């Protein structure tokens, strides 16, 4: 079996990222508007799931706060786009999300498992209702109309740049001491602390890095809608879908979230509007199948996996035939008879 060196893996990852970038850049030139819209959704989830997996996949912390950072970025864009340049608004959206993530992380990152997941979801709901209250108290309305919207190509290129940057950061971070510290926390946090890792600082930094991408993506995607309100941009479904994409694609892999994001985007754009129930059932079915038969996610699929499934299916069919023909029961009776004979001998 051929084992690739670290340098070869790096070159392979960079070449795949380069090919993906080239394909995404060329797509709007020949694809229809529907396909371009689908690609934009795909790029959004590539950025969200890759950055989410970088922190949560390594440390095994289940964060449900993605929609909170996404919504913060979206509202930043809605409030400041008329006063600042496009890229400045994206950076401000990411910066505010980072500040909120640092405060949130300092408060809840000492917890793990269910408590951490529930608290991040609770804080997302808190931010949603705080923004709703602020909007009602200050502006007298709940939503905002986006009057200044950049060109469609600008939005596409910005989200593409964020997606490529998220994957590139994942490639780089996995090879740094910071990435190793995140993995060490996921393996055994207490032992990592004993070995000198400042686990609290590393966790807050990783959480803030995830939030920066979610805030920037939210700021870039807000202009896709001409009207936004808190329940649209702080929608918990954005966070849940990011988690599902990462888990189904392979939470510890680099390319799994990208692969799953493409599949989910095609499903979302094809089924969500006309057959929303089928879309939701597809998500649930994919998650169940991955948990039962593919715990490493879609990225762990190999030729040996298909051969194993084929062997298991053949064994299952063979057992079923023996059950139906009564051969299995007869073998059991013969084995019991031999055991009795041996006992009396």
Is the per-residue pLDDT at 154 higher than 80? Answer: yes
Q: For residue range 284-308, list pLDDT tens digits in order.
A: 787 787 777 777 777 777 777 777 7
Span 9-32, mean pLDDT? 87
Q: For residue range 328-337, list pLDDT tens digits in order.
A: 778 788 888 8
Span 41-67, mean pLDDT? 89
Is the per-residue pLDDT at 206 higher than 80? Answer: yes
* Distance between CA atoms of residues 134 and 128, nearest Å: 10
Is the per-residue pLDDT at 16 higher than 90? Answer: no
Contacts for 178 with CB less than 8 Å, ≥ 6 apart: 202, 205, 206
Determine the distance from the C-alpha atom of residue 117 to the mean position of all C-alpha atoms in its chain, rounded to a whole number: 15
Contact 297, 256 (CB under 8 A): yes
pLDDT level of residue 158 (50, 70, 90 thresholds): very high
* Distance between CA atoms of residues 12 and 258, nearest Å: 15
* Distance between CA atoms of residues 324 and 107, nearest Å: 60
pLDDT at 146: 82
**Site of tokens 């950025």:** 47
Contacts for 337 with CB less than 8 Å, ≥ 6 apart: none
DSSP state of 13: H
* Distance between CA atoms of residues 65 and 42, nearest Å: 20
What is the model's pTM?
0.83
pLDDT level of residue 207 (50, 70, 90 thresholds): very high
pLDDT level of residue 201 (50, 70, 90 thresholds): very high
Could you list the beta-strand ranges (E) of the chain.
Answer: 144-145, 227-228
Q: What's the mean pLDDT when you consider all of the chain? A: 85
Span 80-87, mean pLDDT? 88
pLDDT at 213: 94
* HSE, side-chain direction, 13 A CA sphere, residue 15: 6
**Site of tokens 């879609």:** 298
Span 157-174, mean pLDDT? 92
pLDDT level of residue 3 (50, 70, 90 thresholds): low
Please write down the HEC assignment for all residues of 148-184. CCCCHHHHHHHHHHHHHHHHHHHHHHCCCHHHHHHHH
């Amino acid at each position: 079996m051929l084992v690739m060196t670290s340098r070869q893996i790096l070159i392979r990852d960079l070449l795949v990222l380069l090919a993906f970038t080239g394909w995404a850049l060329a797509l709007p030139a020949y694809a229809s508007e529907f396909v371009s819209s689908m690609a934009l959704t795909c790029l959004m989830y590539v950025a969200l799931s890759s950055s989410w997996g970088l922190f949560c996949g390594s440390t095994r912390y289940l964060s449900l706060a993605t929609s909170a950072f996404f919504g913060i970025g979206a509202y930043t864009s809605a409030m400041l786009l008329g006063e600042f340049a496009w890229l400045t608004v994206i950076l401000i959206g990411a910066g505010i999300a980072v500040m909120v993530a640092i405060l949130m992380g300092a408060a809840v990152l000492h917890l793990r498992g269910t408590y951490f997941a529930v608290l991040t979801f609770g804080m997302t709901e808190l931010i949603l209702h705080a923004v709703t209250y602020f909007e009602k108290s200050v502006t007298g309305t709940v939503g905002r109309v986006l009057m200044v919207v950049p060109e469609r190509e600008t939005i596409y290129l910005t989200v593409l740049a964020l997606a490529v940057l998220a994957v590139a950061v994942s490639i780089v971070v996995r090879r740094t001491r910071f990435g190793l510290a995140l993995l060490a926390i996921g393996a055994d946090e207490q032992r990592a602390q004993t070995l000198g890792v400042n686990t609290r600082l590393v966790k807050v930094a990783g959480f803030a890095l995830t939030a920066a991408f979610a805030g920037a993506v939210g700021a870039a995607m807000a202009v896709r809608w001409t009207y936004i309100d808190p329940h649209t941009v702080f929608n918990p479904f954005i966070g849940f879908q990011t988690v599902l994409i990462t888990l189904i694609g392979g939470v510890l892999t680099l390319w799994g979230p990208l692969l799953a994001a493409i599949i989910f985007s095609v499903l979302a754009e094809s089924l969500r509007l006309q057959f929303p129930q089928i879309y939701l059932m597809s998500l649930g079915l994919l998650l169940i199948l991955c948990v039962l038969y593919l715990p490493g996610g879609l990225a762990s699929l190999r030729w040996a996996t298909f051969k194993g499934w084929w062997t298991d299916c053949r064994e299952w069919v063979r057992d079923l035939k023996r059950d139906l023909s009564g051969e299995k029961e007869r073998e059991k009776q013969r084995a019991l008879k031999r055991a009795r004979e041996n006992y009396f001998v």
